[in-house]
Structure 1
Amino acid sequence: MLREEAMALLRHYLHTENLINHCLAVEAIMRGLARKLGEDEETYALAGLLHDIDYEFTVEDLEAHSLKGAEILEEHGLPADIVYAVKVHNEAHGLERKTMMDKALFAADPVSGFITAAALVRPDKSLAGVELKSLKKRFKEKAFARGASRENMAVCAELGLELEEFLTIALQSMKTIAADIGLQG
């Protein structure tokens, strides 16, 4: 599936701009992780872009979240590795993260929200001034971006990445699309 087709599919199921921006952020992070890990950027990016395709109609039933998304992706002919990565990014199902892509998506999902929160508390609401130093400090603050699971982000270690390197990749990746996700200031 080409990105344009994936974007049209995403917009068919998601209508909330913040949720679409989240998917774009995870797509960018996944692309950055694929580049670092020597994996296929387009495959990783598609998994990131489409990972929450079912969120608007499963938000009240998180047990169904990602299972419905995986069904949608399967129906549209996406490869089994992307379908599985989307399915296992929701830890509620207790499925094993088998591949590097599974682990990358599991860690990328919460870090996008964490970095977005770091930008939104800035006076300019921009990623431009967000630095690794402040992310590392905020990471230790349990009350900051409470919904961004530190444990899930820590799965970056299973990719062979230290937290600092993972945060750097995620931040730099998101900065490249800051204007597209409303975080340019």
Structure 2
Amino acid sequence: MERSAAIVLLDQYVHDAGLRKHCLATGAVMKALAARLGEDAGFWEMTGILHDIDFELIHGDMQLHGAKGAEILTSAGIDPGMARVVQRHNHHLFPGTYTSPVEIALQAADSASGLVIACALVKGGKLSDVTVKTVTKKAKEKSFAAGCDRDRIALIEPIITLPEFYAVAITGLMAIREDLGLT
């Protein structure tokens, strides 16, 4: 599946602009991380883009989140492996059970994308002004971007150090900064 096709599918189910940007951002971080780790960047990016495809449909019922997304992807003929990763990304239902690099990366990218974007917003929307030092400092402030789960971000540490991950995340988001409304 190409990025454009993933976005068309996402747009069928996600109408909130903020959620759409979150999905694109997560995909960008996943793509950059896959490239850094020698993994399938296309698969990882599509997984990130589509990971919350069901969020508006479930109306806050976290018992359905992920499972409904996997159903949508399966019915659209998407790779069953991707559907499985999307299903299992719900950390409320599958806490501490992530072993594959793509599952671990999705946990970290899901939260880190929001943390890095929040850093950019503090800098007047200038993602280009966000540094690893900025993200590291802001990550220590629990009240800053409080919805970004630092424990989920830390899951990446056996694969890559946090400073290196933040650098990769910034690079990934820079590639789509215009889609995110950032500079």
* TM-score over 0.5 (shorter chain): yes
Tell me what 1:9 maps to: 9
Moved over 6 A (4+): none
Tell me what 1:116 maps to: 117
1:100 equivalent to 2:101? Answer: yes
Deviation at 1:63? Answer: 1.8
Amino acid in structure 1 at the alignment position of 2:46: L
Amino acid in structure 2 at the alignment position of 1:56: E
Aligned alpha-carbon RMSD (Å)? 1.2
Deviations 1:118-151 (A, max 9, x none): 11122x2221111111111111111111110000
Quote the Cα distance in structure 1 between the aligned partners of 2:8 and 2:175: 22
Partner-residue secondary structure (3-state), 1:112:
helix
Give unmatched runs, 5+ long, in structure 1. Answer: none
Deviation at 1:4? Answer: 2.2
Deviation at 1:170? Answer: 0.4
TM-score by length of 1: 0.94
Deviation at 1:59? Answer: 4.0
Partner-residue secondary structure (3-state), 1:182:
coil
1:129 equivalent to 2:135? Answer: no
Aligned-residue sequence identity (percent) comes to 38
User: Superposed, which structure 2 residues align to 1:1-185 within 5 Å?
Assistant: 1-94=1-94, 96-122=97-123, 124-158=124-158, 160-184=159-183
Amino acid in structure 2 at the alignment position of 1:110: S
Deviations 1:16-38 (A, max 9, x none): 11111111111111111111111
Quote the Cα distance in structure 1 between the aligned partners of 2:63 and 2:5: 27
Contact kept? 1:88, 1:106, Cα under 8 Å? no
TM-score by length of 2: 0.95
Contact kept? 1:29, 1:169, Cα under 8 Å? yes
Name the CA shift for 1:81/1:13 in 2 (closer, same or farther; >3 Å).
Answer: same
